[in-house]
Chain A
Amino acid sequence: MRPGILFGRRVWVLMLALAAPSILGIARVAPAQIAGTNAQRMEAIRQRMEQGQGLYVAKSYQAAAQVFEDGYATYPYSAFLFNAGVCYQKLSLYDRALAKFREYLRVDPNAPDVSRVLDRVQALEAAAAAAVAADGGALDVAAPDAGEATDAAAPDAGPPPPLGPDDEQAMKSLVVVETEPPGAPLKMYQRTSPTAAAFVAGVANAGWTEVAATQSPANFTLAVGRYHVVVDKFRDYNLSQTDIDVQAGHVHQFKANLSQGEFMAFLRVAANVEGAHLYLDDKEKKRPEWGVTPHGELVPAGAHAVMIEAPGFKPFTTNVEVNHGEQREVTVTMSRVDYGIVRFHSNTDVSISLDGEPKGDFRMGSAPLEFKAQAGAHQLAVTSIGRKDLEGTIEVPPGQVLPVHATMIQKYPRGGAWMEAVCGVVLIGGGVVAGTLSNHIHDEMQADREAGTLEATDSRKTAGTWLAVGADVAFAGGAVLLGLATYNFVKDPLPPSSTQIDKPSEFDDPGKARPTARAPLRPRGLPERRAEKSPLRLHVGGAPAGTGIGLGARF
């Protein structure tokens, strides 16, 4: 069966019928498997898809295949199957690749590219057979890379088409189109000629091919290219349309407000802080938060005030102007506050001061002592009765909690040293007294000698001699004791008190959303260098010019 036959008007109902189980299946599975709002779910799908695309571009096919497989298991959109098949094909795992493509055809038989997928299946089967014949072994063997075959290379029309190379644009994207109210008829056209004129509804458009016709809401697995979606007149609503530029491995979401005859804009806010709280047009925070980063939702066209808050970071507010059908992504780099919190605890009761300013006491068994401190280096002093004082420098990180644990060591007892010092001083003092007396006696005797009245057996000689000997002995003993005292004052076999500074942690989030700093997101579709230039890193995706009531954007 040729895929093109499927895209006739008569097939529109069939496509809807085939698509319905998929959508309904998603709807049926979602409550059981997926938590959170529809926006959150779409954001999760988007992240999976973009993660897989990133790995694929990086030629990490095995990891990319696993991401797509996991993505399909959680969010059963056929785009995940196709992309996983391509990755396996890149890995020359033909058996697995064939299984994914066959599953793709089974769950999405009305896909616009059914014929090309069939050709790919036929080519893969041939390649696999050739590999088996050549190796006589396993099916999953290395073989030349192959891409999708053309529709002309059908299996029953001759030899299987050769496998073409799959480039970075080979990944399929998920395109979700919704209307308000739902149930509106819609058609999806693909531009097949790069030189085709812009699509005009109601006339023959050369270079454009209808690839799907169904009712909203609908999701499509589309290859890279330009598409045009048309919501036909429905009830009392006029026709709505918009161009869609599908990029590889992305999720595009469109919603048309038929009462206004316009598509809504899609605003997505990302930040370098994951889990930051977003408030949309609610600076006073009177309503529940809009979401946490990264977060994207359909929003009315016009100006919006976006406020982002995260514990430990300075609040950030920006105004965003979005147009109808525009898909805008805003990436914000939040900066941390200029203070941090020291969370202190110790192995004993202590008093803490920072830069000489008392900060409080920590008591054993109580909660850690926390106090704010300006970011940067500070002199921390910790004292505890009977334990060695602790002084050191801590580097308080901005906007984070610095856990500090002090291990206070008991002071080495100095009683012996004091006793030695006292005894030494007493001995020295005694020596001084004895020496002074000895000197006095000697001076007297010398004076008497000079006066001619000194007698050889003068009894003062004995007294003065023993006083001198006693003084010397006292000096020597005192010096020894003072030396010992000095040694014992200096001697300290116990280690000094110390601190253990753990890795800084984030501020506690009253909203239970503990933010984690991360690198700013790189905007999709823009060169990397652009992402690094803007200090604000506010990136707005380009919106292709559209006609009619729809606007498209990439995100």
Chain B
Amino acid sequence: MALVPRAVSCRVALLALAASGCSWSRFGDVTEDTPVVRLERPENMTSGFGDVLASGNLDGRSLLLVGGEPGASAAALFDMGRGETPNLDAVDSHFCNNAQGKCFLGSSMVYLPHTVTSAEQDHRPVDSCIALGLGKPNFGDYGVFFECQDQTAYSRPVIESYLSDVKFALDHDQNETIAVAGDGADDPVLLVGAPAALGAGRAWYYAAGTDEPIELKPPQKAADGYGLRVAAVSVGAGRTLMAVAAPNAGELHLFRTEGAVATYLGCLGGTPGFGRTLATGYVNAPGSAPPELVVADHDAVFVLETAPLAALPAATSISCTLAALPPETLRNSFGCGSTKDTGDCSASDFGAALAVADVDGDQDGEVLVGAPQMAVYGTHGVGAILVYDLDSPGDGALSDVRFVASGQSGDALGGSVAAGSNGSRDIIVGGAPKSGQVSLHYCSSLVSPALGGTRCE
């Protein structure tokens, strides 16, 4: 019960003393339906909660995949629910917990709402599965590890040249991390990158409905770290644009696949760290054009139109440069921006994570850029998620910055980002792996009051 109306300020405490005092219940009011909520970390996720984020949709339900430290932790599935009332507790947290077989969580995950098991399990249809990383199910072989909500676990084989490394790693408990990406379809084309702790990196993909790994190999030897980040975009007509990055060398190799046929299209890069993070999504409103490819290097983020890239002719040599981009392929490029509350861009690790989300509900997506070392209220390392609403080609102004006001140095919010959904618009999901926190940011300055709901009043 409030002793005094909230409007009464205790700045006039001496005057208010005669009548009342300070209300403590107002703190309950101000923290009711807060614009930021945090997911509860499952007890079995001991390290790096939020290190890996991926979103999915199962029959209209917005789901969020939260993984821990790659190669060392499990993953959990959260139901974002509808409206403004998320389920803060994981609906399932058994993924990659080694109960269904040996599993090394990858640096990225792909949610498969409806798929089929591998051949060794007779291609049995299963729902709500996740491509988690490398592993060996209890009833399966070494390969890319899948686990479903019904605790079905199965694997898809890796390319032959990589199999011995996988076996060694799993048998000897040597961490081996892969990156997985899908093209967004219910039964997607899956792209796998295996940067490999030892030796050259590899990348392969599985055509839709197949277990056969098809290697994506540049014409010449790729740089170290090849396959550290991967991205896949369906560009229509059964074709998929695939990007495999070797960010240590600043290389991003592009492939066009069509069924089991893969064509090397060339290499983009030339800037330090180019391809350190990749994301895909509709920066333009969904329509005739396919989703855009978003690429980050150490200083900037680039938004590339995928249709022109997919139309590139086959290449026979590697020359990683942005100068070879077709006209109007580079839609936007921008760097870090500061606000009165956030700063220290040069040391912010801008671009550590990328996602595309329709934050303002206007059907086109905004680019979310993680800057985990960004200073908030003058405190370095709190981290923030920078939002860029790129309505037009060439736009690059910072639109909004999301952070947690109570964040502390070392939280490193923005180490991972993802897009959730509340049914009418996307919710910004930020991971702070170093502090093991995942926060849902319901509000943004881009959100209109009509869509803001009670959390954004």
Chain A residues with a Cβ under 8 A of chain B: 428, 431-432, 434-436, 438-439, 441-442, 444-446, 448-449, 451-461, 464-469, 471-472, 475-476, 478-479
Contacts and interface: CB of A to CB of B under 8 A. Distances in A.
B447 to A, nearest CB: 8
B24 interface: yes
Given A452-B36, A455-B37, A439 B10 contact: yes
A464 B439 CA distance: 22
Interface residues of B, number: 34
Contacts of A476: 21
A465 B403 contact: no
A465 B13 CA distance: 16
A454 B440 CA distance: 11
The 8 A-B residue pairs with the shortest CB-CB distance, nearest first, are: A452-B443, A472-B21, A448-B405, A468-B24, A435-B10, A452-B35, A453-B405, A468-B22
A471 B22 contact: yes
Contacts of B26: 442, 468
B220 interface: no
B27 A453 contact: no
B444 A445 contact: no
B23 A468 contact: yes
B398 interface: no
Interface in B345-368: none
16 contacts: A428-B17, A436-B10, A439-B13, A441-B27, A445-B27, A446-B30, A448-B405, A456-B36, A457-B38, A459-B406, A468-B22, A468-B24, A468-B26, A468-B27, A472-B21, A476-B21
Given A452-B402, A452-B445, A464-B27, 13 more contacts: A428-B14, A435-B13, A438-B24, A445-B27, A449-B30, A449-B34, A452-B441, A455-B34, A455-B406, A461-B31, A469-B24, A471-B10, A478-B17
A469 B24 CA distance: 6
A459 to B, nearest CB: 6
A306 to B, nearest CB: 79
A456 B22 contact: no
A456 B38 contact: yes
Interface in B1-52: 3, 9-11, 13-14, 17, 21-24, 26-28, 30-31, 34-38
Contacts of A451: 341, 405
A468 B27 CA distance: 9
B35 A461 contact: no
B312 interface: no
A431 B21 contact: yes
Given A435-B10, A439-B10, A472 B22 contact: yes
A332 B382 CA distance: 111
B53 interface: no
A456 B38 CA distance: 8
A441 B406 CA distance: 11
A475 B31 contact: no
Given A446-B30, A458-B31, A472-B3, A453 B10 contact: no
Most chain B CB atoms below 10 A, which of A431, A445, A453: A453
A459 B3 CA distance: 23
Contact of B27 (A428, A436, A465, A475): A465
Contacts of B36: 452-456
B382 to A, nearest CB: 11
Contacts of B116: none
Contacts of A434: 22
Nearest to B428: A452
Interface string B237-250: 00000000000000
A453 B443 CA distance: 8
Contacts of B318: none
Contacts of A453: 35-36, 341, 402-405, 441
A468 B28 CA distance: 12
A126 B146 CA distance: 168
Contacts of B31: 445, 454, 456, 458, 461
Contacts of A467: 22
A209 B312 CA distance: 186
B35 A449 contact: yes
B30 A471 contact: no
